[in-house]
């Protein structure tokens, strides 16, 4: 297996001078590592599209006191009983080109979902949650257990359609409205439909959006714009440091993460801090040491 920005590449072809070929090449496929750790794929469930699969992600809602069965009915937890389990069904691709990794699910989404389950009570009631770069929609689905959600991503390929299908698959989990909207980090403007909702947004979340420097730069500029529009919002970003061996340093480094930190340091009127990962793990996945969670807020002058 060869690696590009820490992602495994299957069938990678090399171009002149030993450099990798164009990343849009069909043979340059990246795959999420989580499926090497757990067997989430449910072969009994049928995906809507060829080359897609359906995976089942089990989780618990301990302090919520209830779980939801397959018919959408509430199961009340009995005293001294084992913590109840729910599950989310996610349709996704097993591998994609690097520029379409949003069609897969990555560890950061599960970490952020854990944080939401553990901290939803400290988020103001009647809040609206905005997710950026939602990918397959898992974190938005978890958030909708507690709050209405604006679930956004680029309108490219099948991403928005995939999110809508996954929301429908999990209507028994989504106790609040999930609105799927387009938001392209590369655009200079925030869509009017999202701007209209911002006065009600108190929480912005994003997971696994740091894997390409140009996208990272645009992503951070988007956050800067959003925070400048409303100072009551907090932003939580979950990501994984991806280490690669660099010839320039003859050592391992996490260049995409380092570039993210540079962008973070250059943000204006924004306070940021790394969040300790000492909250429980409600989903089944390996919470590797490379996972990090950051909180960003506006600095009021």
Q: Do 205 and 117 meet the contact criterion of CB atoms below 8 Å apart?
A: no
Q: Do 194 and 129 meet the contact criterion of CB atoms below 8 Å apart?
A: no
Count of CB atoms within 10 A of residue 35's CB? 17
Confidence label for 249 from pLDDT (cuts 50, 70 and 90): low
Q: Do 170 and 164 meet the contact criterion of CB atoms below 8 Å apart?
A: no
Mean pLDDT of the region 5-14: 38
- State percent of the chain over pLDDT 90: 71
The pLDDT value recorded for residue 2 is: 36
Q: What is the tens place of the pLDDT at every residue in 108-161?
A: 999 999 999 999 999 988 899 999 999 999 999 999 999 999 999 999 989 999
Name which residue leads in pLDDT, 247 or 255: 255
Q: Is 109 exposed, middle or buried (0-12, 13-18, 19+ CB in 10 A)?
A: buried
Structure tokens at 232: 């009551």
Mean pLDDT of the region 159-164: 97
Count of CB atoms within 10 A of residue 254's CB? 18
Mean pLDDT of the region 191-201: 95
Mean pLDDT of the region 87-111: 95
Confidence label for 19 from pLDDT (cuts 50, 70 and 90): very low
Confidence label for 67 from pLDDT (cuts 50, 70 and 90): very low
Can you spell out the DSSP letters for 209-246?
--SSHHHHHHHHHHHHHHHHH-TT-EEEEEEE---EEE
Q: Do 183 and 132 meet the contact criterion of CB atoms below 8 Å apart?
A: yes
Q: Do 139 and 178 meet the contact criterion of CB atoms below 8 Å apart?
A: no
The pLDDT value recorded for residue 84 is: 65
**CA–CA dist 41, 251 (Å, integer):** 36
Structure tokens at 284: 């089944």
Question: What's domain 99-298's superfamily in CATH?
Answer: Vaccinia Virus protein VP39 (3.40.50.150)
**CA–CA dist 242, 255 (Å, integer):** 8
Q: Are strands 66-68 and 201-207 parallel, antiparallel or unpaired?
A: unpaired
The pLDDT value recorded for residue 49 is: 87
């Amino acid at each position: 297996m060869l690696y590009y920005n820490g992602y495994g590449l299957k069938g990678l072809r090399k171009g002149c001078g030993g450099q990798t070929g164009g990343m849009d090449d069909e043979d340059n496929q990246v795959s999420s590592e989580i499926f090497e750790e757990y067997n989430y794929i449910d072969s009994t469930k049928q995906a809507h599209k060829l080359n897609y699969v359906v995976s089942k992600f089990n989780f618990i809602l301990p302090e919520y006191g209830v779980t939801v069965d397959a018919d959408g009915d509430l199961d009340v937890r009995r005293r001294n009983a084992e913590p109840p389990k729910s599950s989310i069904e996610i349709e996704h691709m097993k591998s994609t080109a690097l520029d379409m990794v949003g069609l897969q699910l990555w560890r950061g989404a599960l970490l952020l979902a854990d944080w939401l389950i553990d901290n939803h009570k400290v988020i103001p009631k009647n809040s609206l949650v905005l997710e950026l770069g939602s990918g397959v929609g898992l974190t938005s689905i978890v958030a909708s257990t507690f709050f209405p959600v604006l679930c956004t991503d680029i309108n490219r390929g099948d991403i928005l359609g995939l999110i809508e299908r996954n929301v429908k698959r999990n209507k028994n989990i989504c106790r609040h409205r999930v609105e799927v909207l387009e938001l392209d980090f590369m655009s200079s403007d925030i869509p009017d439909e999202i701007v209209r909702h911002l006065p009600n947004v108190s929480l912005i979340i994003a997971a696994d959006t740091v894997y390409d420097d140009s996208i990272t730069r645009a992503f951070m500029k988007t956050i800067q714009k959003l925070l400048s529009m409303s100072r009551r919002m907090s932003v939580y970003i979950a990501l994984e440091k991806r280490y690669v061996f660099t010839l320039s340093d003859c050592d391992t480094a996490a260049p995409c993460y380092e570039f993210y930190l540079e962008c973070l340091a250059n943000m204006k009127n924004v306070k940021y801090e790394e969040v300790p990962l000492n909250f429980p793990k409600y989903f089944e996945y390996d919470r590797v040491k490379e996972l990090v969670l950051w909180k960003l807020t506006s600095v009021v002058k």
